[in-house]
């Protein structure tokens, strides 16, 4: 039973904690925190100061009241000592009557040595016999009722009336302690109002000061949010000679470093495939990628007769032509999940199934080759209308086991594939005719139901002891044509966008 009750209480406490967490704001501005802390410190300080002042004021009023009561009682005792011994009732009555006219004195009385009243006026307490035995002035607090029927706190001072060392009697002076309490209350209220006013002013000043102090931090927060959104050109244009100034300078240096890093990554990704760039940048401490044997497909696409064509073109035209066609080849390669391994002069080397696992890399490579040839045919129609020479590609494709890894030295290296299968793909590209795609028999047998190919002759390949049976790929089968049309449409749109850019630049 006790355990169950504890569990219920624990669940209830956890629920309350969750509800309170939901009520609290997720973000509290630092200006508010600073203002709250400064205000609390000021409130505590002003309250403590007010309490000290109020206590000192009460002590002062109480001391003044005691001194006044003692002085009046001693004065009356001195004046009444001789009349008490001479039993001069008229003189005693005059003494008490004159004191009763004082505004601060509410009552005055004279007693004989045995405590019998001899003369009195005003408000007097009921005194015990023991109060008349003291040789010093005694303060006796008591409560009475005023003329309105309200309770009132009073204090009577009892002093011995001595004549030549002999106690003749006693005197009593009654004062109002409520006046002291009223004065203390008024002083306390004044201190409270002053404290509240100073707290309000201090709170406003603390908030204003906190806003001023937190404004640079607010600028830093906004700049950090901009960096998080990808705006790496954000800078804080403030010059300060304090710690915040060093912080701003460090932030600007960090933002400049991030911008430079982003630019380097973008440029780096243009020189190597994105997958390789991501792997290298993800592990900068160990930039070597692990060499591993893989089953992949390599495609070589070479521009036929490019040397003769380039003799009639300006260097800028040659560069523009290569950049244009290599751009289309890169797009075609990406559409089929491959990556551009390298550009060798007027030849592009594409690999499939290396950067990412691809069980259908052979078909993707052949489909990419067909897409390149069909796009080149459409581009040639456009070039003929513009009076430009046609561009024809020779493509060789081969699949097999190859080694993917680093090639080069510690100072200069590249991530590529090497092996007999790669060399054979390059040889097949060299044997191909313009607008022809050549594959070997083994690859054809694996894809014969998905491609349209025509058997060619067996050719002698340098480095191979036996002739290699080749096939010329003309098109894809029916099931692959739909995707091919979509990819060709995407490349056509890219081609049109490039033409529009050229038109704008020319204008």
DSSP string, 445-470: HHHTTTEEEEEEEEE--TT-SS-EEE
- Dump pLDDT digits (tens) for 152-205: 888 999 999 988 888 888 999 999 887 777 777 777 787 788 878 877 887 787
Note the pLDDT of residue 287.
Answer: 47
Q: Which residues contact 68 (CB under 8 A, 6 or more apart)?
A: 104, 175
- Dump pLDDT digits (tens) for 249-261: 887 888 888 777 7
CA distance readout (Å), 84 to 74, 160, 395, 429, 447: 15, 12, 144, 146, 143
Note the pLDDT of residue 289.
Answer: 47
Rounded Cα distance, 67 and 59, in Å: 12
Tokens 């020319």 correspond to 506
254: how many CB neighbours lie within 10 A of its CB? 13
Phi/psi zone of residue 115: left (φ > 0), alpha (ψ -120 to 50 degrees), beta? left
Q: Which residues contact 496 (CB under 8 A, 6 or more apart)?
A: none
Rounded Cα distance, 198 and 353, in Å: 77
Q: What three-state secondary structure class fits 287?
A: coil
| Whether residue 487 has pLDDT greater than 50 | yes
| Whether residue 210 has pLDDT greater than 90 | no
DSSP string, 309-375: HHHTS-HHHHHHHHHHHHHHHHHHHHHTT-EEEEEETTEEEEEESSSS--TTHHHHHHHHHHHHHHH
- Dump pLDDT digits (tens) for 447-465: 988 999 998 888 887 767 7
| Whether residue 348 has pLDDT greater than 50 | yes
**151-160, 260-269, 343-352, 480-489: lowest mean pLDDT where?**
260-269
Total-model pTM = 0.52
Note the pLDDT of residue 14.
Answer: 75
What's the distance, CA 352 to chain centroid?
43
| Whether residue 126 has pLDDT greater than 50 | yes
Rounded Cα distance, 31 and 40, in Å: 14
CA distance readout (Å), 465 to 230, 298, 418, 422: 58, 22, 20, 17
Contact present, 331 and 398 (Cβ < 8 Å): no
């Amino acid at each position: 039973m006790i355990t169950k009750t504890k569990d219920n209480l624990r669940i209830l406490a956890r629920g309350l904690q969750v509800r309170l967490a939901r009520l609290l704001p997720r973000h509290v501005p630092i200006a508010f925190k600073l203002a709250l802390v400064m205000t609390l410190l000021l409130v505590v300080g002003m309250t403590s100061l007010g309490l000290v002042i109020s206590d000192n004021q009460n002590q002062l009023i109480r001391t003044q009241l005691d001194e006044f009561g003692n002085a009046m009682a001693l004065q009356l005792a001195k004046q009444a000592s001789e009349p008490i011994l001479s039993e001069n009732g008229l003189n005693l009555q005059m003494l008490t009557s004159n004191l009763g006219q004082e505004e601060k004195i509410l009552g005055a009385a004279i007693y004989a040595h045995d405590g019998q009243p001899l003369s009195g006026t005003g408000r007097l307490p009921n005194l015990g016999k023991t109060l008349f035995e003291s040789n010093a002035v005694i303060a006796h607090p008591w409560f009475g009722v005023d003329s309105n029927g309200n309770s009132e706190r009073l204090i009577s001072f009892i002093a011995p009336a001595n004549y030549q060392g002999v106690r003749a009697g006693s005197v009593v002076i009654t004062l109002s302690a409520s006046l002291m309490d009223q004065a203390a209350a008024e002083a306390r209220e004044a201190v409270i109002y002053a404290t509240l006013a100073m707290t309000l002013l201090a709170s406003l000043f603390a908030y204003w000061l906190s806003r001023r102090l937190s404004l640079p931090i607010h600028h830093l927060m906004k700049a950090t949010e901009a960096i998080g959104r990808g705006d790496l050109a954000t800078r804080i244009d403030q010059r300060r000679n304090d710690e915040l100034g060093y912080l701003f300078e460090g932030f600007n240096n960090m933002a400049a470093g991030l911008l430079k890093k982003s630019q380097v990554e973008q440029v780096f990704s243009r020189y190597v495939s994105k997958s390789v760039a991501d792997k290298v940048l993800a592990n900068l401490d160990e930039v070597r990628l692990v060499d591993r044997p893989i089953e992949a497909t390599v495609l070589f696409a070479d521009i036929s007769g490019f040397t003769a064509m380039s003799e009639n073109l300006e260097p800028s035209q040659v560069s523009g032509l290569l950049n244009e066609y290599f751009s289309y080849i890169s797009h075609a390669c990406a559409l089929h999940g491959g990556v551009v391994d390298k550009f060798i002069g007027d030849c592009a080397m594409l690999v499939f199934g290396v950067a990412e696992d691809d069980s259908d890399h052979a078909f993707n490579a052949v489909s990419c080759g067909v897409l390149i040839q069909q796009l080149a045919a459409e581009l040639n129609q456009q070039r003929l209308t513009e009076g430009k020479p046609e561009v024809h590609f020779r493509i060789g494709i081969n699949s097999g086991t190859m080694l993917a890894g680093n090639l080069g030295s510690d100072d200069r290296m590249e991530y590529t594939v090497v092996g007999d299968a790669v060399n054979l793909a390059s040889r097949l590209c060299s044997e191909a005719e313009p607008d022809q795609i050549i594959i070997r028999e083994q690859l054809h047998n694996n894809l014969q139901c998905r491609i349209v190919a025509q058997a060619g002759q067996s050719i002698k390949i340098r480095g191979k002891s036996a002739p290699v049976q080749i096939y010329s790929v003309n098109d894809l089968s029916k099931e692959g044509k739909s995707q091919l049309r979509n990819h060709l449409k995407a490349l056509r749109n890219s081609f049109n966008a490039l033409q529009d850019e050229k038109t704008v630049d020319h204008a």
